[in-house]
Structure 1
Amino acid sequence: MKEESRILEAEGIMPPEVKDMVQDFKDQTLLNPRLKNTVGHISLSFSPKDAPRMTDALMTQIAKEYMQKMGITDTQYLLVRHLDQPHPHCHLVYNRVGNNGQTISDKNIKIRNAKVCRELTEKYGLYLAPGKDDVRRERLREPDKTKYEIYDAIKGSLPKCKSWNELEGKLKEQGIGIRYKYCGNTDRKQGVLFSKNGFEFSGSKIDRAFSFTKLDRHFTLVQQQTQHRATLFGNLSAAVGNYRSAFAGLFGNMGRGGSSTREEPPSVNLGKAGGIPLPPAGSPGGVSAEQLQRKPGESPEEHIARITALLDAAAAAMAIAAMERRRRMEEQKRRAKMKI
C-alpha cells in the first residue's frame, strides 16, 4: 500500500487500513498454528508494450485466473496495483492458511508459476520477451541477481570462446567459477555448475542453452567449423599458388622489360591468401574482380569454396593456353629451320 497504488480486489479482509488487514490475516492463521510461513506474496508484471490495453478489469481477471491455476483459493487475499513503474504490475498478498484451516501449498511454486504465467501470456496475447534480455536487472534480488550476472557473463563470453578452457578463463576474470559433474567414478563429464557470490547453479538453471550438453555441442561445432575453415583456407592458398604459377607461365612478361610504358597488371587482394594479378580481358582463364567478390547471401565458407574453384579453373585454362602457345612457337621454329 503506497501513494501510487490502488486496490483492485480484497477477499476476507477489510481495507484500507493496513493494521486492520494485518489483524484479519493473523486471526485466520490461528486455524493452523503449526504453519510457519503464513503469508504468500506474488508480483504479476506485464510488459510496457501491453500498458495501453492493461485496464484494472483485465489485470484483475488475469490475476484471479492466475490464483485459480496456482491453487490459491478459499482464502484471504489482497490485490493491489502499483503505478510507480513504466510496466503495469500488481501485488498479490494472500493467507496460506485457508478459510477452513487448510494449507495453501507452495511446493514447486517457481516451476508452477512459470508454467501458469506462460499459459496466461499466450491465452491473452500478451507480449513475451525473447529470452532474458528484457529483465530489469536492477530490480532483482538474490539469488536471481547473481544468476542473471552469470547469464550475462556466459552470453558475452561464449562468442569469444572455442573450448571449455577458454570459457573457464573468461568467466574466472569475472569472478565466476566452473565445476563439473562426472558420470559415476569415471572422468566423463555430464554436468556443469557455475558459482559466484556464494551461490552455485547448474548450467540449465542459468538458461536451457547453457546446459552441459548444449555447451559441449556448441564447442564441438565451433571446433569443427574452425577445422573446416582451415581446410578451406588451405585449399584457397594452394589454388592461389597454382594460379600465380599459371599466370606467370602465360603472362610472365607483363610488368617486365625495359619499356617505360609497360604497367603492372591490376590485382585483387584475397586476405590471408594474398593478392593475385588479373589477366587482360578476354584472355584464357579470365577472372575479374567482380567474380571474386562475395555475393549477397553467400556465407564466408561458400565464398571461399567458390573462388577456390574459380581460381583452379582459371589456372587450368591458363596452363593449357601456355602449353598451346609453346607448341605454336616450337612449330614456328621448326618451319623456320626447314626453310633455311
Structure 2
Amino acid sequence: MIGHVSIGRSFYHCISYCLEDKRELSEKKKLALAMQDHLQHKGRAEVLEYNKCFGNKYELTEQFKDVRKLSRRVEKPMLHLTLRLAPEDTLTKEQLREIGRECAKEFGIADNQYICVLHKDTKEQHIHIVANRVGFNGKVANDSNSYKRMSELCRRLEKKYSLQEVLSPRVFLSSKDRLLPRHDSRKEKLKTDIQQTLKYAGSYLVFERQMQNLGYKVLKSRGISFIDDKKVKIKGSEVGFSLTKIEKILRQKKQLAIKNAGEVKNRNKDSLSISNSFNTGMQNEEKQSYNSGRTGGEVVKEILGVTAQLMNFEYEPDYIDPELQKIPKKKKNKPSLRR
C-alpha cells in the first residue's frame, strides 16, 4: 500500500477532482478506454462515506468553508489523503471504508468534516479522503511528520489486512536498513524504456520524442529527469543514464553510422569501377564473390551491438571508441628532385 499526503487552500478544486471524471477525457475517449482496459472511466467516483457533511461539490465546499471560519489563522485548511493498494490486492468496500476511518483517526480528523471516495478508473484500488483540517471546536489538525505517519500507517494496514508489503521511503528507515538493496519496479521500468529507446534513436530529439510517447515528461537542464504517468520524478542518473551518458551514446552511434556509410560507399564505388573494367572477363559467380561485403542489415546489427555495449552500466562516461579516435595521418610531401 502506498499513501500520499497534501494540504492546500482550495476545498472546491480538490473535492471536484475526487467526485468527477478526469476532465481531459471526452465521452468518446472514456468509452474507448473502458472497452480497452475494462475499467470504469465514466462515473469513476463512488463516495464510501460522508463524515459530518453531505451534498454535491458546491454544497460540500460551502459547509467546509463555514467551519473553516472558526480558525482564520490557518492558511491551508484542506487535507487530501490518498491510499493505493499494491497490484493484485483487493478489498471490499466495507474494508476500504474502515481503512478510510483509520486514516482519518491517524491524522486527527476523525471528528472533522471529510469525504472518503473510491476511484474505479485504475487497476489498483485506491481511495481519496478530502478533509477539513479545522474542527468544529476551532482546532486545526496537526500536519507535522505527515509522510512518516502515513508510511507507518500503511505498514500497519498491510499487516492487518494481509496485503502485500511495500517498502517504506528510505528516509524513514534506520541507518542500517538504508544500506540494504531495494527493488524499485518504477525505476526498473524507466531503465528498460531508456535502453530500448536508445537502441533505435538516432538523435537526442528523437530520443526525447519517443520517451514522451511512452508517457514520460522529460526535463533537461544540466542533467536529465523523467516524470512518469503517476507524476513521480526520477533522475536519469538514478537508473544509470545521466544526460552525459545518453548524449555520448547517441553521439557515438551517429559517428559509427557515418563511418559505416562511408565504408559502404567506397566499397560500392570500387566494385563498380572494377566491374566496368572486367565485366566481359568475369563470370557471374566471381562478381558475386568479389562484391561480397557487409550488407545494410549487418551494418545495423553492428550499430545495435555497439549501442548495447555502451549501455552496459560498467561503461565509463569518458570512454571513446578507439576506432573513432584514430586520426588519419597526413601524407608527407616527397621532396622534389631539383638539380
What's the TM-score once normalised by structure 1's chain length?
0.42
Which has the larger Rg? 1
> Relative CO higher for 1 or 2, CA cutoff 8 Å, sep ≥ 6?
2
What's the TM-score once normalised by structure 2's chain length?
0.42
